[in-house]
Each structure stands twice: as C-alpha cells, then as structure tokens.
Amino acid sequence: MLLSVVESWSSSSLTTSGKQGRRNGALSMWGDRMWHFAISVFLIELYGRNLLLTAVFGLVVAGSVLLLGALIGDWVDRNPRNKVAHASLFIQNISVTVCSIVLMLVFSYKQKIEQIWDGWLTVVCYTVVIILADVANLASTALTIAIQRDWIVVITGYNRGHLAGMNATMRRIDQVTNILAPLAVGQVMTLASNVVGCGFILGWNLVSLIVEFFFLSRVYRIVPALSVKPPMVEVDQAFLTARPQSLTEGNCNSRVHLKEIANLPLCFRRFRWLVSTCKDGWRAYYRQPVFLAGMGLAFLYTTVLGFDCITTGYAYTQGISGSLLSLLMGVSAITGLMGTVMFTRLRKTYGLVNTGIISSCIHLSCLLLCVCSVFAPGSPMDLSFQRQKHTFPLTGGSNQPLLPDRSSIHWTNNTVLFDNVPSGTAPESYISIILLFLGVITARIGLWSFDLTVTQLLQENICESERGVVNGVQSSMNYLMDLLHFIMVISAPQPHHFGILVIISVLFITTGHTMYFLYAHKAKRKSHLNT
C-alpha cells in the first residue's frame, strides 16, 4: 500500500506536509510486509509445522493472479481512480482483519475445533484463511496497479525525472521495510504468542485503513488531474502534448468492446465477457512496444537466486547459521538500495533505455559468480543424481521461513527443499556457498536498477486507458514464471540438485535480459528513424 508515499510527493510540491506523508507511506508498507511474513508462519504452525498449507497457499495466490490479472487491470481501467483505490484498500485491509480474527480463534480453540464434524471444521477454517489471504493479495495487486502504474504518472505531470525519483523513493522504503517489518512482527510472535501476533496485525490494519483513507482522499483533492480519466475508446495523447520533458508518444489502439448476444442466458453472456476481456487484455499486452521489456522482467521470476526459503534452506544444508543468514539479508537490502541510487544516476546520464542495458550487464556479470559456485570446492552438486555425501545437519525450526522475500521481483513460499534432508558433516570447503551468496548479493544492484527501468518503461509507454489491463497481464506473467520456478524446485528438491537449479535460473535470467536487449535495439532504431 503506497498511497501515503504519493501524498508525500504531491504535498512536498503543493503543501508543507511532505514529511508526514513519508512517515505514513512507511507505515502502510510496514503493515504489508508484516502480513506477508506472518501468514507463511501461521500456515506452518496451523498444520503442525508441515509445509502443505504454505505450498497450497502459494499455488492459490499464483494461480488466482495468473487467471484474474487481466480482469483486475480491466476493472482498474473502467472505474474512477478514487473508487478503485478506496475499494482495493478497503477489501485488502478488511480481508486481512477478518483473516486475523479467524486465525486467533483457530489458535485459541484448535483442539476443540478438531473434534467438531470429525475434524472437517478444521478443514473449513484452513480454507477460509487461504481464501481471505488470497482475496487480500488480489486487492493488493489492484491497488499496486492503480497507484504505482497510474496515479504516479499523473501526479508527476508526465515528467520523466520526477517519475524516476518517485519510483526510486518507493523502492527504497520497500527495501527497508522488507527487512525491519518481519523482524518486528517476528519478535512479537516469539516473545508473546501467535494469537498476540494476529491481534497485533489486526490492530495495525484497522489503524492503517483509517489513516490511508484520509491521505488517499487528500491526494485526490490536491491533484485535480486524477479525477479526469479518458474513455476506454480514446487514444491517449497525454505524452505527446504534456511538456518538453513529456514521455514517449502514445501507442494505444482503440479498445474493442464486446457485443452481447441477446439470445444467450445472462450467465453465459457474463462468462463470455470475462473470457473476451482476458483475451483482449493479453492482446493489448502483446501489441505494446514495451512487450519484450515486460517479458524480460517476467523471466527474472524463474530463479532460485534470491533470499527466499529455497536459498536459505540450501544454505542451512551447507552449514550457514540463521544468524549469519539474517546478516546477509541485511547486506542484500543495502545493495538493493544501492541499485535504486544507481538507477536515478544512470537514467540522468545515459537515458532510460541505456540504463536497462547497463543494469542487465551488471546483473548477469554478478550472477556468473553463482555459476562458478556450482563447480567450486564444497559444491554438493551431483549430476548423476546420487545422494549427496556431505550435508550439514539442520537444527531446530528448519521448517520456519526466514524472512521470505515478497518484493516485486520475486516472492516464494516454503517448498519441499527442507524435507528429507540427509544428516552428515559440514562441507569440506565453504568456497562454493561464499561465491553463491556473493553473486546473489551483488547482483541485486543490477536487479533492482533493471526492475525500476522496466517499471518506468511500462509507465511511460502504455496509454492511460490501458494501463490497468496491461499491468494486470504483466502481473499474471510474473506469477506464471514464478509457478515455473515452483515446479522447477519440486522436480529437483535435494541440495545436490541445487547447482542444476542455479544453472537453469541463470539461463532464464539471460533469456529475460536478451529480450530486453532486443527491445532496446528496436527502440533505438525507431528513435534514429524518427530523427
């Protein structure tokens, strides 16, 4: 939830409340991060420290956004901006609040619930929790599309420099809260109980809902342009006429409206409309000039090279302690912040398209260290798929996620990597694991700079009447590639298979950056022809 960061930017130029807006922006993101971390922990605790519920939740979330991403984006496009933002914010916070109440009841009366209906009431409760959490995620997706991809462009007056600055500011706040918020709620859950943790999140969401509603309405009043939205059939020319620093020319084609068939029942007409809307959304995404750049970003989701529970689980098997992993995550957050700083400076010096090329090269260069780690001393990789001989034994709480990453680049729940890990001795050498994390940490500089580059390209080049649906399809593509990442890990879950996953991940990332290079070549050629 980034509404208050928007308030920060607009109020700093029009009023004197910028500092207050920044504080409230951090508050809203803090609530998001706490919930994303806590729900994974709660699901593991509910099912007796088993990973089944977490895996089901991950698949439900990914599948729902994959199927409904275009519909969510179309809804964002078709309705007034304040209505979309208010509805998304309300649904998200209320879903989290109700889900927290259900979790509190289940944790408090778990034994009694298990005895009702021969245990089927427990299944009902688990289902309700997953559905509510999924609804909250869908609402969060809609809110992100509305604010990050639409509101920001309008608020900055279609100015490239201001847009880049706001994107970078949001990402910096996101990086900091991504580390601190899970630590905070984790301490509450550890020192008190899961019930207290649920209550803490419940109270935070209720307060955050009131505060963000206030700032949302205030931003909408401060920026009159937000109340103006072109009809769906119009071709957007805002970037052609805005100002000397306007963005690239509009490229939006007229939206094709469906013709209802009167002789069909209402339910069939609605289903046909839903299918046609999804089809039109994917077609609109494909015809965008930044299609290859968006696809390149999506391919970066198919990777195990991030601070999620897959990589941390592998690190455990290689003798890395939880405290050291926490420290490494802090360092990775710093390198992520360096990436946002590098993005703003490179964009000013070399332009947005060249910034993406430079960021891609940095990202790929750092990931070569990860490839080297596969063949370095201490690597457990065994191409014959024989059982690995040297593995560090897991110690207590290995099924507990360690600050899972829920960023716009990759978010993954726990997987079977923790299961059936053989006991043994520590690896003969730590060179492999050192190279792996050195590559992962340094690569985040280029990764976040590249992410910001593609984000701004999508903001600049998609016409106003199609921003929602195209970004909805982009979210679907991201989750689709993340699902491939799940399948990849499930197919090769053991530590001595991890080297193969690293190589496959680098191949996917290389493919993604190659797509961006093709986009950059076309964009530069088009620019030369126009001049």
208 & 280 share domain: no
Last residue of a domain, one of 197, 228, 259: 228
24-41 burial, b for 16+ CB within 10 Å, e for fewer? bbbbbbbbbbbbbbbbbb
Those residues of the chain that have pLDDT short of 70 are: 1-28, 48-52, 230-266, 309, 312, 322-323, 382-427, 531
Kindly state whether residue 5 falls inside one of the protein's structural domains. Answer: no
**What is the domain range of residue 441?**
272-387+427-530
- Domain shared by 198 and 315, yes or no: no
Q: What is the pLDDT of residue 151?
A: 82
- Residue 284 and residue 222 share a domain: no
Q: Residue 27 is encoded by which pair of tokens?
A: 């508050």
Question: Any residues with CB less than 8 A from the CB of 192 and at least 6 apart, and which?
Answer: none
Which of 481, 484, 480, 489 minimizes the C-alpha distance to 65?
A: 480
Reported as a single tens digit per residue, the pLDDT across 161-208 is 888 888 888 888 877 877 777 777 777 777 778 888 888 888 888 888
Does 156 share its domain with 41?
yes
Strand partners, 411: 406
Q: Is residue 248 part of a domain?
A: no
Q: Is 488 part of a structural domain of the chain?
A: yes
Question: Would 70 be classed as within a structural domain?
Answer: yes
Alpha-carbon distance values, 211 to 3, 42, 64, 89 (Å): 10, 27, 29, 11
Residue 357 has a pLDDT of 96
Asked if residue 438 is part of any domain, the answer here is: yes
Quote the pTM value.
0.77
Cα distance between residue 211 and residue 331, in whole Å: 32
Whether residues 151 and 219 fall in one domain = yes
* Tens-digit pLDDT profile for residues 397-415: 443 333 334 333 333 333 3
Residue 27: predicted pLDDT: 61
Count of domains for the chain: 2
220 and 283 belong to one structural domain: no
Mapped onto helix, strand or coil, the DSSP state of residue 411 is strand
Domain ends where: 167, 195, 228?
A: 228
223/114 same-domain check: yes
In the chain, pLDDT over 70 holds for what percent of residues? 76
- Residues 219, 287, single domain; the answer is no
Query: Could you tell me the CATH number of the domain that includes residue 461?
Result: 1.20.1250.20
Range 380-414 burial, b when 16+ CB lie within 10 A, else e: bbbeeeeebebbbeeeeebbbbbbbbbbbbbbbbb
Distances (CA, A) of 183 to 179, 194, 200: 7, 14, 14
The three-state (H, E, C) secondary structure of 305-318, written as one string: CCCCHHHHHHHHHC
Are 112 and 204 within one domain? yes
Q: Are residues 76 and 169 in the same domain?
A: yes
pLDDT of residue 384: 54
How far apart CA 275 and CA 71 sit, in angstroms, is: 9
pLDDT of 50-65, one tens digit each?
566 777 887 888 888 8
- Which one of 198, 228, 258 terminates a domain? 228
Residues 212 and 341 in one domain: no
Q: Is the residue at 366 inside a domain?
A: yes
Q: What is the pLDDT of residue 94?
A: 92
Q: Are residues 190 and 71 in the same domain?
A: yes
Is residue 3 assigned to a domain?
no
Q: How many CB atoms lie within 10 A of CB 54?
A: 25
Mean pLDDT (the chain) is 77
253 lies in some domain? no
